Structure 1
Amino acid sequence: MKNIIQYKHRKVLVLGLARSGVSAASLLHKLGAFVTVNDQKPFSENPEAQGLLEQGIKVICGSHPVELLDEGFELVVKNPGIPYENPMIQKAKDLMIPIITEVELAYQISDAPIIGITGTNGKTTTTTIVHNMLNEMTPNKSLLAGNIGFPGSEVAEKATADQYIAMELSSFQLMGIRTFCPKIAVITNIYEAHIDYHKTREDYVKAKWRIQENQTKNEFLVVNWDQDELRNMTKRTKAKVIPFSPTQKLGEGAYVKDGNIMFYDEVIGRREDILLPGEHNLENILASIAVAKICEVSNEQIMHVLETFKGVEHRTQFVKDLHGRKFYNDSKATNILATQSALSGFNKPVILLAGGLDRGIEFDELKPFLKNVKTLIVFGETADKVGRVGKEAGVDVHKVHDVTAAVPLAYEHSEPGDIILLSPACASWDQYRTFEVRGRAFMDAIEELPDEVEK
């Protein structure tokens, strides 16, 4: 680890726990900081806080008392999910206390170069493919961190200079960086999302763009060349720009030409040999190839990964074929675009399960993509909004309480050859702690369907 002396004897407040907060608090304690943890969940219901207390870390639970900030803290490490309008954050700003997220801490101590991957959609798939390609080149060359794998600070603590950290990064995390500078930054795409948190699309885009703000000519920025907004923004970066495009024969970066996957003028392999389906996944694949080539992964190693990689759990994941009905778990589809992409990948009749957290948006953009949807089953806070769009598109709509109730109803309305797709177009937090929990509820409900009864 590098730069560890800067934390010794510093008074640090870790605000909000979850996995990243626990990791940050434990690391700072090891580095000799005087750590206080504050989490809203009551101590009796908070095993993470109980574990930190056993390490000798001061723990305050049950609320976020603003007077706590009068104790002379020199740094606040904020959970990414806590909004900047929170009174604790506002007071810390007023007191001019530096506020960072855990990924900044990870960067400051990491001996390993970081590959930071962000975007509205495709982050997890791209990060996973990059990770697999690097490890295909050299076992344990890459460590997963950020929104997948382990918290960044936990991984950075053990990473060595001859490894890479493949780090999936959200806009929430990027808002809390100060010196963070990935060796390679990737922006898969940018669409409207998280407006409930960022308030405006402009602020959301600014948060994503921060991934490159500390880069120099010695770092790389891999960016989606099909998006005019991103292409124009690259004029303002100091990094070396590597474009990718599934639709344009660029002649540079990663692209497709005559059925070949290309990197500059080099043929990497045939597109038809790639196992992962879907046009949206081609973006992820090209971005991953660009990163792999920068890291000197061979074409043979790249193609071996692409010929065998089946996808990531909860991302248009095939679950089961039951009496001719194919079930797909796309719980990670937390916005309209992701659901549009999922629906575009099927040409058979679809029974769509959708709904979730209401972020104040409408779902009319989903309507043109419902042409193959025969039945729409809606749930959660947005059930009525999504259902309205389905009815206007002439789709048979049913409303249920949650995913568990949706599955048997979907089966009841299905017939052999149908696709039963969970692709909510919404975040899960109105009913489920994470999209993974929602996806597992879907898969568990499928297992409860009777195997022995055919319709």
Structure 2
Amino acid sequence: MGKRIEFKGKKVLVLGLAKSGFAAAELLHSLGADVVVNDSSPEKGNAEAQALRSKGILVICGGHPENILDRGFDTIVKNPGIPYHNPVLQQAKQKGIPVWTEIELSYLVSEAPIIAITGSNGKTTTTTLLYHILNIGGKKPLIAGNIGTVACTVAQNAIPDEVIAMEVSSFQLAGTENFRPKIAVWTNLYDAHLDYHGTSEEYALAKSKVTSNQTEEDFFIYNADQPEMKPYIERSAARKIPFSLRGKQSEGISADDEMIYWQGEPFVKRSIIKLLGHHNLENILAATASAILMNCDKETIENVLSSFTGVRHRMQFVKELRGRTFYNDSKATNTLATKSALSSFQSPVVLIAGGLDRGHSFEELRPYMGRVKAVLALGETADRLVEFAASCGVQHSVKVGTMKEAVEEAFAISQEGDQILLSPACASWDQYPNFEERGDAFIEAVMQL
């Protein structure tokens, strides 16, 4: 286990538990580090704290003591969600103590090469699609990171002939120092998480750390259609593989209306692709380029592209029933995501939308409402959505109380050839704990038709 075991005898503070902190503490302890865990949650009922104590690890719960760094730590491994203005982290900065996230540990212990995928949008779809191609291609992939499986848990057991497809967020990348994937993928850059990073520049710098330690022996796949990424791309020392949707390009991977091209040569026809959406075509190019660099054959890539219908709750094909096609895009929690979904269709769309009212405007959707024949509006934003749809000339826009009502009404007013799309443009928390449960309610309602 491990290409670099540097932790024996080192004093490490794990700040914050949850899945990543628990996994990091276990791993560091197994590597011989002197581990202290500090979690802000109460002592009572903290099963993770009790499990770590049973291994002989010191766990301090209920807050972050001001003097905790007096113990002389060599390194801090923090939960990605803990902001850097946390007083302990501010003290660590003053003392020059490195602050990592557990994906730094995953790199330090992994014997398998890492393909790291980041971006404001599309990370999960790209990672999942790539995993499927690698798996069918016999490349022994593992999947890890922000997608739900703690990276260092996967990495510590990885062997050299496997490969880790790792989704990495800006929160995770901000806490890296040596992290160097064999292939880095940066899907796109839009302002996000500014409450955490502070500025657009800090957010972009965190994202760019996916390639900052790469050398000419590594590959960097990036979105060539976004000029705002150019300053960060130019700093990378890796071999650069651009992707573009602006027609055939002589370098990297590109696409026009008919074909995907690799290094300027026709590679696969777009007509075989099952996954809808302009934004998803970016994800397809990034995943396909990664697979080519991993020596997956063309036939394997074609087979997966012709069968992959998306990640659950992200433009997920659900069912075709009596000529109507149902798509679950519950992950669309803002107008940008719903705009991308609507742009995927030319045939008439019956749109199910609405949710938590944060006061956001729906105006960004207006250019795409011409392809919407009806809107079924849910949740706190229902009245505003009905009014907006009417102002766009949508003939049928009504407020409904439940997802079941929305699906039944959508089916009743639709015709053969119509697309019935759940793409809420709002968060779910007014009616559902998360977008996953909202999407599951949609799927269940469709299956009951």
TM norm structure 1:
0.86
Task: For 1:68-87, list aligned pairs within 5 A.
Answer: 68-87=68-87
| Distance change >3 Å, CA 377–CA 204, structure 1 → 2 | farther
Q: Are the aligned partners of 2:353 and 2:425 in contact in 1 as well (CA < 8 Å)?
A: no
- After superposition, give the CA deviation of every residue in 1:200-256 in whole Å (9 maximum; x if it has no partner): 322222221121111111111111111122245422221111111122211121112
Amino acid at match of 1:285: I
Range with bigger deviation, 422-431 or 26-35? 422-431
| Distance change >3 Å, CA 329–CA 172, structure 1 → 2 | same
Q: What is the CA distance between 1:188 and its match in structure 2?
A: 1.0
The answer for the alignment partner of 1:274 in structure 2 is: 273
Amino acid at match of 1:40: S
Q: What is the CA distance between 1:119 and its match in structure 2?
A: 0.9
The answer for the alignment partner of 2:89 in structure 1 is: 89
The answer for the alignment partner of 1:22 in structure 2 is: 22
Question: What is the CA–CA distance in structure 2 between the aligned matches of 1:40 and 1:163, rounded to whole Å?
Answer: 37
The answer for the alignment partner of 1:250 in structure 2 is: 249
Question: What is the CA–CA distance in structure 1 between the aligned matches of 2:177 and 2:265, rounded to whole Å?
Answer: 37
Listed as ranges, the gaps of 5+ residues in structure 2 are: none
- Tell me, what secondary structure is at the counterpart of 1:60? strand
- After superposition, give the CA deviation of every residue in 1:26-57 in whole Å (9 maximum; x if it has no partner): 11111112222233333434333333333333
Q: What is the CA distance between 1:428 and its match in structure 2?
A: 5.6
The answer for the alignment partner of 2:168 in structure 1 is: 169
| Distance change >3 Å, CA 258–CA 393, structure 1 → 2 | closer
Task: For 1:421-436, list aligned pairs within 5 A.
Answer: 421-426=421-426, 435-436=435-436
The answer for the alignment partner of 1:50 in structure 2 is: 50
Aligned pairs, number: 442
Task: For 1:40-439, list aligned pairs within 5 A.
Answer: 40-138=40-138, 140=140, 142-231=141-230, 233-256=232-255, 259-320=258-319, 326-346=325-345, 347-356=347-356, 358=358, 362-373=361-372, 374-375=374-375, 377-379=377-379, 393=392, 396=397, 398=399, 405-409=402-406, 411-412=408-409, 415-417=413-415, 419-426=419-426, 435-439=435-439
Task: For 1:8-19, list aligned pairs within 5 A.
Answer: 8-19=8-19
- After superposition, give the CA deviation of every residue in 1:60-103 in whole Å (9 maximum; x if it has no partner): 33333434333332221111112222233223323332111111
Q: What is the CA distance between 1:139 and its match in structure 2?
A: 5.1
Q: What is the CA distance between 1:335 and its match in structure 2?
A: 4.0
Question: What is the CA–CA distance in structure 1 between the aligned matches of 2:50 and 2:388, rounded to whole Å?
Answer: 46
Q: Are the aligned partners of 2:245 and 2:256 in contact in 1 as well (CA < 8 Å)?
A: no
Amino acid at match of 1:153: C
Q: What is the CA distance between 1:113 and its match in structure 2?
A: 1.3
Q: What is the CA distance between 1:406 and its match in structure 2?
A: 4.2
Question: What is the CA–CA distance in structure 2 between the aligned matches of 1:384 and 1:325, rounded to whole Å?
Answer: 26
Q: Are the aligned partners of 1:314 and 1:332 in contact in 2 as well (CA < 8 Å)?
A: yes
TM norm structure 2:
0.87
Question: What is the CA–CA distance in structure 2 between the aligned matches of 1:419 and 1:330, rounded to whole Å?
Answer: 12
Question: What is the CA–CA distance in structure 2 between the aligned matches of 1:72 and 1:186, rounded to whole Å?
Answer: 37
- Tell me, what secondary structure is at the counterpart of 1:371? helix
- Tell me, what secondary structure is at the counterpart of 2:6? helix
- Tell me, what secondary structure is at the counterpart of 2:413? coil
Q: Are the aligned partners of 1:354 and 1:422 in contact in 2 as well (CA < 8 Å)?
A: no
Amino acid at match of 1:304: N
| Distance change >3 Å, CA 156–CA 241, structure 1 → 2 | same
- Tell me, what secondary structure is at the counterpart of 1:217? coil
Q: What is the CA distance between 1:135 and its match in structure 2?
A: 1.9
Question: What is the CA–CA distance in structure 1 between the aligned matches of 2:388 and 2:144, rounded to whole Å?
Answer: 38
Q: Are the aligned partners of 1:356 and 1:383 in contact in 2 as well (CA < 8 Å)?
A: no
Q: What is the CA distance between 1:275 and its match in structure 2?
A: 2.0
- After superposition, give the CA deviation of every residue in 1:91-143 in whole Å (9 maximum; x if it has no partner): 33233321111111111111111111111111111111211222222252x11
Q: Are the aligned partners of 1:12 and 1:74 in contact in 2 as well (CA < 8 Å)?
A: yes
Quote the sequence identity (%): 51
Q: Are the aligned partners of 1:357 and 1:429 in contact in 2 as well (CA < 8 Å)?
A: no
- Tell me, what secondary structure is at the counterpart of 1:211? coil
- Tell me, what secondary structure is at the counterpart of 1:243? strand
Listed as ranges, the gaps of 5+ residues in structure 1 are: none
Question: What is the CA–CA distance in structure 1 between the aligned matches of 2:10 and 2:64, rounded to whole Å?
Answer: 21
Amino acid at match of 2:248: K
